[in-house]
Structure formats: structure tokens, C-alpha cells
């Protein structure tokens, strides 16, 4: 049952990544690229758990992948806020 649920999570994360890439192409905002990369990492994490031994879920490697994805989201948000503030400061 766990493999089935991990497969569903991986599919949902890949769909979210593709949607964020589409938003990036239409809007051009870099924040969407960071979110797409983070959700792609989430998908890789769930795929890795689905094809490996279920006992490996508690190992630190899966947590490191998730940590990397969350760091990407935080970096994207900080980048977005800095660009908005820099654009406001550049106005005459």
C-alpha cells in the first residue's frame, strides 16, 4: 500500500512541477522555477521511496532530499522579495 501512495504522491508532485513550469513560461517569474525544481525533487524522493525497501524511509537520505526542496522554496521566496524591494528602491 505504501508503494501505491508514494506513486500517487510522485505523480502529484510531477504535475505540480509541470504546472509551475507552465506558469514560468507564461509569466516569466523566477519564483515558479524554484517551485518547479522543488516539486521535481519531491517527486524524485517519492519515486526513490517507492522503488526501494520501505525500511529506508527513516534513513537520513530521504530527509536530505526533502530538506533540499524546502531550501529551494525558501531561496525562491527570498529571491522574489529582494527583487521586488530592489525594483522599488531603483525608482526615482
Average pLDDT of 66-83? 93
What is the reported pLDDT for 48?
A: 87
* CB-CB contact of 10 with 39 (8 Å): no
pLDDT band at 91 (very low <50, low <70, confident <90, very high): low
SS3 58: helix
Span 13-65, pLDDT tens digits:
999 999 999 999 999 899 999 999 999 999 999 898 888 876 666 677 778 88
Residue 55 Cα to chain centre, angstroms: 24
As a whole number of angstroms, the distance between CA 75 and CA 71 comes to 6
Radius of gyration of the chain (CA): 16
Cα torsion through 58, 61, 65, 71, rounded to 10: 100
Q: Which residue blocks in 1-92 are alpha helix, DSSP H?
A: 2-27, 30-51, 60-90
Amino acid at each position: 500500500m505504501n508503494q501505491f501512495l508514494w506513486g500517487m504522491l510522485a505523480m502529484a508532485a510531477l504535475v505540480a512541477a509541470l504546472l509551475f513550469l507552465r506558469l514560468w513560461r507564461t509569466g516569466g517569474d523566477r519564483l515558479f522555477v524554484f517551485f518547479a525544481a522543488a516539486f521535481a525533487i519531491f517527486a524524485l524522493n517519492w519515486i526513490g521511496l517507492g522503488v526501494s525497501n520501505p525500511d529506508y524511509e527513516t534513513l537520513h537520505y530521504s530527509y536530505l532530499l526533502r530538506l533540499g526542496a524546502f531550501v529551494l522554496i525558501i531561496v525562491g521566496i527570498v529571491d522574489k522579495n529582494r527583487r521586488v524591494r530592489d525594483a522599488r528602491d531603483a525608482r526615482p
